């Protein structure tokens, strides 16, 4: 082994040596930009077909498709496009069908002035902004079938549009009836069912939607009538039950709530020993008299009004009064043929 100071001296000498110039780096061949889903070369063809290239794509970077004129991206499981995605004016045909797109960026077609054919069929699109197609002035063919769209934006009906395909559902078909109004022979609007069978939207709406609408309206009206009948029946039943609970024959329960008085009818040969049905002193009495004649003493007890009023002849006016009224109310129950009132107060 050498002396330990030799390494230190050698290092010190190297630090004072002039540095040689660094040779320039050799040029590196450019690597193609890599999309999260596809590898696209800078010199990719203007008509690029990437149909069924990958099984799944969570988000597609649109920055790699800036020079194509026709682009096919169907059957790749694409779920979303990058928020900055814009269709360039040079693109004329775009196929994004049979993917899993839930939505598209609102400005996706803001520069698509040259787009003539757009296929978005069989995705999961639930909504498209009202002005989504406003700048696609060259649009001639638009496929939207196979999506759960509730309606088609008005901006889709560009002056050059010659063909439109929508799902065969009454809501979305109804949204295109006005713009698609035309003769059956030259109608440009069609709907496709899940089996891809094509129907004229006017014919489909007339045969499938109008009848269903009338049936739904009839069912709703019938349900409303049934509900009304049930409500009326419930009200009638409740009133009858309340009336039955509040009406009773004979004597009422003396233990009724809130101190309700007991009502007892007395007549000759009826009631208890003191003029009541159960032998207890009544709160109020209904006394039945013969035509314009005072009643006899009931079971040995003289009513208060009889103690203060003489017997009345038949031809006299039937009018009885008592001086023992006090603070108690007077109740009358007359069953005489002369229809005169008899005022009675209980015994004090």
Tens digit of each residue's pLDDT (9 = 90 or more) over 207-233:
999 765 544 555 666 777 878 888 888
Question: Is the per-residue pLDDT at 346 higher than 70?
Answer: no
Q: Is the pLDDT of residue 32 over 50?
A: no
Q: Work out the pLDDT band at 340, boundaries 50, 70, 90.
A: low
Q: What is the mean pLDDT of residues 36-51?
A: 89
pLDDT one-digit tens code per residue, 6-19: 555 455 555 554 54
- Asked if residue 334 has pLDDT above 90, the reply is no
Structural contact between residues 204 and 168, judged by C-beta atoms closer than 8 angstroms: yes
Residue 286 host element (H or E): strand 284-287
Confidence at residue 234, expressed as pLDDT on a 0 to 100 scale: 87
Dist CA 33 CA 27 (whole Å): 18
Average pLDDT over residues 28-53: 77
Per-residue pLDDT at 157 exceeds 90: yes
Can you name the residues that pair with 166 across neighbouring β-strands? 191
Of 48, 94, 101, the C-alpha closest to 77 is: 101
Helices (H), 159-209: 170-176, 201-204
Q: Is residue 59 predicted with pLDDT exceeding 90?
A: yes
What is the C-alpha to C-alpha distance for residues 251 and 207, in angstroms, rounded to an integer?
Answer: 71
Q: SS3 of 189, please?
A: strand
pLDDT at 276 over 70: no
Read off the pLDDT band of 26 (50, 70, 90). very low
Per residue in 303-319, pLDDT tens? 555 444 455 454 444 44
Q: Kindly tell me if the per-residue pLDDT of 101 is higher than 90.
A: yes
Contact 139, 115 (CB under 8 A): yes
Q: Between 132 and 277, whose confidence is greater?
A: 132
Determine the pLDDT at residue 164. 96
Residue 31 pLDDT more than 60? Answer: no
**Highest mean predicted confidence (pLDDT) among 162-171, 202-211, 336-345:** 162-171
- In this predicted structure, which of 69-83, 109-123, 184-198, 320-334 has the lowest mean pLDDT? 320-334
3-class SS of residue 198? strand
C-beta of residue 78 within 8 angstroms of C-beta of residue 100:
yes
Residue 86 has pLDDT above 70, yes or no: yes
DSSP letters of 48-100?
EE-TT--S-BSSB-GGG-SS-SEEE--SS-B--B-TT----TT--EEE--SS-
Global pTM reads: 0.54
Contact 298, 266 (CB under 8 A): yes
Provide mean pLDDT across the span 325-342: 50
To which H or E segment does residue 142 belong? strand 141-143
The two structure tokens encoding residue 162 = 């010659």
Judged by DSSP in three states, 131 sits in coil
């Amino acid at each position: 082994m050498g002396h330990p100071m030799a390494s230190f001296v050698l290092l010190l000498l190297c630090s004072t040596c002039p540095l040689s110039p660094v040779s320039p780096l050799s040029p590196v061949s450019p690597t193609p930009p890599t999309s999260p889903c596809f590898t696209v070369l800078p010199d990719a063809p203007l008509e690029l077909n990437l149909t069924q290239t990958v099984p799944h794509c969570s988000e597609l970077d649109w920055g790699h498709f800036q020079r194509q004129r026709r682009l096919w991206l169907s059957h790749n499981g694409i779920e979303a496009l990058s928020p900055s995605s814009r269709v360039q004016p040079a693109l004329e045909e775009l196929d994004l069908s049979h993917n899993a797109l839930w939505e598209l960026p609102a400005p996706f077609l803001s520069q698509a002035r040259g787009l003539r054919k757009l296929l978005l069929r069989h995705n999961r699109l639930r909504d498209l902004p009202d002005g989504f197609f406003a700048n696609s002035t060259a649009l001639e063919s638009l496929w939207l079938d196979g999506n759960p769209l509730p309606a088609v934006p008005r901006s889709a009906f560009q002056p050059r549009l010659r063909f439109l395909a929508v799902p065969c559902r009454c809501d979305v078909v109804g949204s295109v009836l006005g713009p698609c109004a035309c003769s059956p022979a030259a109608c440009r609007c069609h709907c496709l069912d899940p089996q891809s069978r094509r129907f004229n939207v006017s014919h489909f709406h007339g045969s499938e939607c109008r009848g269903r609408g009338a049936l739904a309206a009839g069912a709703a009206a019938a349900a409303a009538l049934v509900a009304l009948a049930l409500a009326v029946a419930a009200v009638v039943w409740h009133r009858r039950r309340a009336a039955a609970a509040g009406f009773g024959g004979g004597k009422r329960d003396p233990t009724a709530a809130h101190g309700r008085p007991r009502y007892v009818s007395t007549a000759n040969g009826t009631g208890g020993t003191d003029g009541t049905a159960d032998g207890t002193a009544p709160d109020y009495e209904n006394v039945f008299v013969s035509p314009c004649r005072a009643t006899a003493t009931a079971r040995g007890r003289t009513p208060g009004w009889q103690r203060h009023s003489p017997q009345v002849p038949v031809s006299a006016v039937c009018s009885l009064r008592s001086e023992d009224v006090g603070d108690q109310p007077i109740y009358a129950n007359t069953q005489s043929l002369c229809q005169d009132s008899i005022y009675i107060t209980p015994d004090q």
